[in-house]
Amino acid sequence: MKKFGLFEKKNRVLLYELVKTDFKLRYQGSFLGVLWSVLKPLMLFAVMYTVFVKFLKFTDGTATYPIVLLLGISLWGFFTEATTIGMNSIVARGDLMRKINFPKYIVILSSMASALISLGINLLVVIIFAILTGVKFTPLVLLVPFSIIQLFLLAFGVALILSTMYVKFRDIGHLWEVLLQILFYAIPIIYPITMVSASHAMIAKIMMLNPIAQAIQDIRHNLIAPETTITAWNLISNFWVCIVPIILTIVVVGFGAWYFSRNSKKFAEIM
């Protein structure tokens, strides 16, 4: 626990300073600055909505689907950004790690924090749109933070694995980029899961065992559309099968922590 604890004050201070520095550098020299955190998912949403909803009719037929789509794009953007930046963080901070002795995982957490801040801004925009379009919130919104924590932990576990591999093999960056594209279309982000479950129920159930899909659908269900958004919990009747995505998340984080700890001492030598 010592290696992966943030209980020491010096580690918390270092994490805070790295987060602050990363967030400032991220928008340095940009005219719009932090507004890009909102504009990027909104522009992507506009393209996706026009192509897939208006022309290809990827919709569940409800008035809330545009908000559900925007929320899914924002959550997917967070996962993509957090894992990609996390993967590059160790190499990017190589000079710092050669000069100062500190738990290396802090570099990954600090890089992911900027993605988490952007997600917070995007969720605020989603909530504003939801209010303007008449979405009725329910007590289920209290469960949303737990699903966000799950998605963050999953991204953290993946980032631990990828960043360790990236130190030795830079090709991992290109492979992860391709895999993200595959995952984007393999889970219900731009299309409702009902499009799959209507004709291929078993495939839909398998798709929902993906922890990314499960977390995103749970957040959509609990925040925006509990009556129309299908989750693993109402698609799969077996409770033990439903918790498979949660178990997978724990496994990924556990393996990532072990793999990272095992190799982190050699980072400075390799880089």
Distance CA 112, CA 81 (A): 8
pLDDT in tens, 123-138: 988 998 899 888 889 9
Distance CA 237, CA 232 (A): 9
Spell out the residues 6+ positions from residue 34 whose beta carbon is closer than 8 angstroms to its own: 27, 121
Q: Is the pLDDT of residue 1 over 50?
A: no
User: What pLDDT score does 30 carry?
Assistant: 55
> Percent of the chain having pLDDT more than 90?
45
Distance CA 106, CA 104 (A): 5
Give me the chain's average pLDDT, please. 85
User: What pLDDT score does 270 carry?
Assistant: 63
Sequence ranges of the domains in the chain: 9-270
- Say what the pTM is: 0.88
Distance CA 194, CA 61 (A): 11
